[in-house]
Structure 1
Amino acid sequence: MSEPGFPAQEIDTERPHPARIYDYLLGGKDNYAVDRDAGDALADVAPEVRPGVRANRAFLRRAVRYAVGGGIRQILDIGTGLPTSPNVHETARETAPDVRVAYVDNDPIVNVHANALLNRSGGTRVVLGDLRDPQAVVHHPDVREVVDFDEPVALLLVAVLHFLTEEEQPGRIVATLRDALPPGSVLVLSHATDDFADRSAAQAVYGNATATLNLRPRSAIERYFDGFELVEPGLVQVPFWRPDSSPPQGSGEIGFYGGVAYRRA
């Protein structure tokens, strides 16, 4: 495991952090009062947010099962957030026990918690890294310890790109990661949108957070799949991506798109 600890001054508990807000909305306990306040404010202005994050989590599990069922045995999960069981490696190993997973997040609290929870799980690594520096992520020695970029990789960018501004060039970042993947690799991506309702008040909740919320339309999100081939049903609201059962009532209001795509060449 990497990065065993951090001085307290490196952990910002004065401002809400997206990973800890997400944890709170999922019903987790690894969060602070500022995160809970932000989560409550978010739910007040966007009532679909709690079912939305649950639907996004369910999409992640289905997409992981799809990738592993297709033969992929290594996963790079960037922006992993706080561990919520079943974790990616737990979901993957229900299908194939030999799957290896590198978790990457830029929040030291995520890193500490994940290391504590996963320190008995072989074939996983937890890395303190930043999506905004994709080359550093790809070349991190702990990532390289479990991910062989000569073999197909499942790259997970789930509910993370909407925390990047246009100035941070999310399209360039995804392209850099794409170019590090061999043919046969899979991109699993979800992204928040305001296509279904005005969510400017929800964006404002993140004004004091460690990252802003940058909602994008379907057309912009679809461009992140350039160089990949989307599998059916394409880029859709997450409850409608290959659901295990009929999506619950209200699923059409959920402001998350999700898709899975192969890198063919």
Structure 2
Amino acid sequence: MAERVNWVPEGIDTGRPSAARLYDYLLGGGHNFAADRALAEKFLQAQPNARAIARLNRAFLRRAVLFMIDSGIRQFLDLGSGIPTVGNVHEIAQKADPEAHVVYVDFEEVAVAHSQLILEHDPRATIIQEDMTRPEAVLQAARHSGLIDFSQPVGVLTAGVFHFVPPQADPNAIVAAYRDAVPSGSYLAVSQFTHDLQPEEMAGIVEVMKKSQNPMYPRTRSEIEALFAGFELVEPGIVPTPLWRPELTNTDDPDKAGIYAAVGKKL
């Protein structure tokens, strides 16, 4: 029987697992259903380090936002933002500068519903329900929100989402559309699963995710580098998540991070 609780938007098939709710579960969140938890347990069987991988990816997002803030960015477009959890982009950015603007983008209904609740009283942040692989629609909605001035530098965030974009969708062209919409001085942050780290575990994850509505397409370092065409990678380049500008002495094994991370500046 499909699970039904009072915070579920109408029409949601709670028996069909989603990547956003799986990620929420791995991070210790409560906005997931039995089907998501069952899939997550299979995910953990394939990659026992999955909870740490999720944590490291979330930590990279925080550091990337703070780096962009330090670089003068005051408006962010968070693609595939997922279900709200501790350390949302607007919380990080607005703690540094209360005037920072954030537009979240996701098509998952639970993610959108909870973002709307969290952002209800924040005039400087919003969520738009759209598919990030449709950049024209996303950019139009972002402009319509009134929160992004595309004549000024923008921080474009894609944390842990591009591995859900299939090759036939032409991920390089998708990123290029966002790149062309923002001015010089803008930044792009990318983190995504890779074949290069723990290939056996990654193959197992791919098999598990075939059973969800969000199949996974890990990429090599060179394929991720291609996403940054027109951007200049900032130091340290494309590295496992715990090695991207760590704040403290790093004790996480980068070979078990599962995900590459990088930030680039538009030339």
Greater RCO structure (CA 8 Å; 6+ sep)? 1
| CA displacement at 1:243 relative to structure 2 | 0.2
Q: Find the counterpart in structure 2 of residue 201 from structure 1.
A: 204
Q: Find the counterpart in structure 1 of residue 55 from structure 2.
A: 54
Note the residue ranges of structure 2 that are not aligned, 5 or more in a row.
1-6
CA distance in 1, matches of 2:28, 2:251: 19
Amino acid at match of 2:209: Y
CA distance in 1, matches of 2:83, 2:142: 22
Amino acid at match of 1:233: P
Q: Find the counterpart in structure 2 of residue 226 from structure 1.
A: 229
Q: Find the counterpart in structure 1 of residue 3 from structure 2.
A: none
Report the identity percentage: 39
| CA displacement at 1:35 relative to structure 2 | 0.7
CA distance in 2, matches of 1:149, 1:12: 36
Q: Find the counterpart in structure 1 of residue 35 from structure 2.
A: 34
CA distance in 2, matches of 1:37, 1:153: 38
| CA displacement at 1:57 relative to structure 2 | 0.3
Amino acid at match of 1:110: A
What secondary structure sits across from 2:197 in the alignment? Answer: coil
Q: Contact between 2:197 and 2:259, CA under 8 Å: does it hold in 1? A: no
Q: For each residue in 1:126-177, what CA deviation from the matched residue of structure 2 results, as whole angstroms up to 9, or x when unmatched?
A: 1101011111000115654100101000000111110011011111101111
Q: Find the counterpart in structure 1 of residue 147 from structure 2.
A: 146
| CA displacement at 1:7 relative to structure 2 | 6.6
What secondary structure sits across from 1:146 in the alignment? Answer: coil
Q: Contact between 1:192 and 1:257, CA under 8 Å: does it hold in 2? A: yes
Q: Contact between 1:138 and 1:144, CA under 8 Å: does it hold in 2? A: no
Amino acid at match of 2:10: A
The residue correspondences of 1:73-92 to structure 2 (distance < 5 A) are 73-92=74-93
Count of residue pairs the alignment pairs up: 259
| CA displacement at 1:12 relative to structure 2 | 2.8
- Closer, same or farther: CA 235–6 of 1 in aligned 2, 3 Å: same
- For the aligned residue pairs, the C-alpha RMSD in angstroms reads 1.5
CA distance in 2, matches of 1:114, 1:92: 16
Q: Contact between 1:114 and 1:126, CA under 8 Å: does it hold in 2? A: yes
Note the residue ranges of structure 1 that are not aligned, 5 or more in a row.
none
Q: For each residue in 1:66-88, what CA deviation from the matched residue of structure 2 results, as whole angstroms up to 9, or x when unmatched?
A: 00111111000010000112210
Q: Contact between 1:127 and 1:143, CA under 8 Å: does it hold in 2? A: no
Q: Find the counterpart in structure 1 of residue 10 from structure 2.
A: 8
Q: Contact between 2:209 and 2:216, CA under 8 Å: does it hold in 1? A: yes
Alignment partner of 1:256 is 2:256 = no
> Scaled by the length of structure 1, what TM-score is found?
0.94
What secondary structure sits across from 1:225 in the alignment? Answer: coil
What secondary structure sits across from 1:234 in the alignment? Answer: coil
Q: For each residue in 1:63-112, what CA deviation from the matched residue of structure 2 results, as whole angstroms up to 9, or x when unmatched?
A: 00000111111000010000112210111122111100000001111111
The residue correspondences of 1:75-224 to structure 2 (distance < 5 A) are 75-140=76-141, 144-197=145-198, 198=200, 199-224=202-227
What secondary structure sits across from 2:128 in the alignment? Answer: strand
Q: Find the counterpart in structure 2 of residue 70 from structure 1.
A: 71
CA distance in 1, matches of 2:8, 2:135: 22
> Scaled by the length of structure 2, what TM-score is found?
0.93
